[in-house]
A = this chain, B = another copy of it.
Amino acid sequence: MLSYTEENYLKTIYHLSENGSKDVTTNGIADAVNTKPASVSDMLKKLAQKSLIDYIKYQGVTLTDEGRVKALKIIRKHRLWEVFLVNKLSFNWDEVHDVAEELEHIKSPLLIKRLDEFLGFPQFDPHGDPIPTEDGIINHKRSVPLHQMEIGMSGVVVGLNETASSFLQFLDKIGVYIGVKIKVLDKSSFDHSVEIEIDQTSKMMISNEVAKNLNISE
């Protein structure tokens, strides 16, 4: 049985190894779980002992198969709760993260089974991220951060890499949602901002920072 804290570390390591292709560092984890590197070192030893991660001192960390399945179960719970909050309790999609962060640690397989059913077996959470299956299989529907797309390419917004509510509110304002079609019209070589067409209608200039955090697919 994993503690609340252990679960958070596992989940974080999973996210860090998915995002950037760079390896997972102690400092990176410390940053993400809002603690100090020294505490992370301690925890990594503990997780390695439980064979949830492969860990060699001073080299990075990777999840074992067991660790990854555990992490994906937590992520599954997180995302299902997000769907619940948005679809059933009419939360805004930028209000759900913190509450889901707590709910994801509730330990009841039956609860999650029933919740999944109640929600109609959703495949994606309100941010467009795929919901892993019960046994830790995740649909890695290929998506590319918008800033990596070539001029002339188009696709549909399927996910976000950032959930800060300031970011979510910005997207709201410019009319970018999950499912909206985006076409790359131009890219500035000066500040790497990107000109896009939203929903085949409005045109928009967005910063590289914003483009980096929008995942496009199809």
Contacts and interface: CB of A to CB of B under 8 A. Distances in A.
A88 B115 CA distance: 9
B99 A114 contact: no
A111 B100 CA distance: 10
Interface stretch (A18-26, A89-97, A162-170): A89-97
Interface residues of A, number: 19
Contacts of A108: 98-99, 102
- Interface SS, A side: helix
Contacts of A74: none
Interface of A: 85, 88-91, 95, 98-99, 102-103, 106-108, 110-111, 114-115, 117-118
- Going nearest first, the 6 A-B pairs with the smallest beta carbon separation are A89-B114, A99-B108, A102-B106, A99-B111, A89-B118, A88-B118
Given A91-B114, A102-B106, A102-B107, 18 more contacts: A85-B111, A85-B114, A88-B118, A89-B111, A89-B114, A89-B115, A89-B118, A90-B114, A91-B110, A95-B110, A98-B108, A99-B106, A99-B108, A99-B110, A99-B111, A102-B108, A103-B103, A103-B106
